[in-house]
Amino acid sequence: MRKSCLAMILLIAFGPVVWAEESRKNPFSERVIINQTFDSTTAQGNLDASQTISNQITQSNESSKTSSNIAFSSEAQATTNKNCKAIAVPDFICNVLSFFGFNCPVGTQILIPTSTSTTTTTTTTTTTTTTIKPVNPYVGQLPSTITGLKTKIRQKFGITTKDGSGAKWTKRQLEETYKVLSTLPASFRCCTTTIQRDAVVRDSNNNIVTGTLGYVKVGVPTAHILNLACQKVATFQGVIVHEMTHNFQAKHPQIQALWAKTFWPLGSLIGPIPRSVSSQGNDSALEDMAESVRTYWQQASWMKKNQPKRYEFIKKYVMSGKAYST
């Protein structure tokens, strides 16, 4: 009852709140506008030289139609919604929420719509304060052929690397995938059985969904890695971890529910508290967790300093106590 009253107070005070969470009817529906960004200037290594992308992608409502059976979009460009403005929650509201047990620090902001237009522009700017660099663990001598690498990944990690629609694995991509998998705990890896390379993803009308790096489907423990993810090593590595996190969520719904309770105490009312590690992470509890796990893996030092509560949650519940020095 108390929480309901507080929610009504905030709604009356601030009006409609914009929250880009996945559809409530299908919380795993695809999101086309993808928010998290990677540093495209310092992450070295073009994994697929035949693929080129522009630094800015503009999407209209027409091109944003998606198939409902696709679970998650991956990380790429930061969404700038020019139709909203950020409004700080008054300190006394934050204090009241904190008094009732909510994690609402002073300085929390909400987004207020300024018009009804829905056209969104995405760009490749960076949202974190540190450079994202490729993770390069020592893995010893790897096979020199694509077939040999696929076999070694399957034997070592129990994960099949599959050629999908319009794309095939390259030797370099398989080497980087091996590096990523070698650093992840078995309890996390086992939630994914296949990593598949696809060229693009299409919506229900067979139109290409632009700006997507990867996705998973509900109930299918396969991480799909698209051509757009293959431009930079750090991007490619991060997409793998992000999509594997979605498979982890599907296998451990109780952990995902605890994440939502911890960092989204008021749900769509004001979004994550504190704000997520990236713009995409502010979309929903699902994306918040996937982006946070990626950041934990790629930028551990930054996250431990700037997001200590998320850091400790992931260390305990997702990574089985494994810490990183990235």
Does residue 259 belong to any structural domain of this protein?
A: yes
In this prediction the pTM is 0.68
Residue 178 contacts residue 142 (beta carbons within 8 Å): yes
The verdict on residue 14 lying in a domain is: no
Question: What is the reported pLDDT for 198?
Answer: 98
pLDDT at 21: 31
What is the number of domains present in the chain?
Answer: 1
In a domain, 7, yes or no: no
**Token pair for 66:** 């998606």
CB 47 within 8 A of CB 225: no
Give the pLDDT of residue 259: 98
CB 210 within 8 A of CB 236: no
Any domain includes 236? yes
Confidence at residue 55, expressed as pLDDT on a 0 to 100 scale: 26
Give the pLDDT score at 63.
Answer: 31
Reference 239, options 36, 64, 65, 69; nearest CA is: 36
Q: Is 92 contained in some domain?
A: no
Q: 245: domain range? A: 23-79+119-326
Dist. CA 233–CA 253, nearest whole Å: 30
Give which of 199, 236, 196 is closest to 45, Cα–Cα: 236
Which amino acid does the sequence have at 295? T
Would residue 199 count as lying in a domain?
yes
Say what the pLDDT of residue 95 is: 73
Residue 125 lies in a domain: yes
Domain at 157, CATH number: 3.40.390
CA neighbor of 220 nearest in space, from 162, 297, 289, 292 = 162
CA distance to 17, 115, 159, 275, 283, per residue, from 75 (Å):
24, 26, 22, 17, 12
In angstroms, rounded to a whole number, what is the distance separating the alpha carbons of residues 189 and 244?
A: 8
Q: Which two tokens stand for residue 251?
A: 């296998």
Residue 217 is encoded by which pair of tokens?
């489907």
Distance CA 281, CA 40 (A): 19
Tokens of 322: 């494994």
Q: What angle do helix axes 171-183 and 233-251 make, rounded to 10 degrees? A: 50
CB 179 within 8 A of CB 139: yes
pLDDT at 66: 34
Q: Specify if 17 maps to a domain.
A: no
Per-residue pLDDT of the chain (326 residues; tens, 9 = 90+): 555 555 555 544 444 333 333 322 233 333 332 333 333 333 333 564 333 322 222 222 323 333 333 344 443 333 333 444 556 677 777 777 767 666 677 676 665 444 433 322 222 222 333 578 999 999 999 999 999 999 999 999 999 999 999 999 999 999 999 999 999 999 999 999 999 999 999 999 999 999 999 999 988 999 999 999 999 999 999 999 999 999 999 999 999 999 999 999 999 889 999 999 999 999 999 999 999 999 999 999 999 999 999 999 999 999 999 999 98
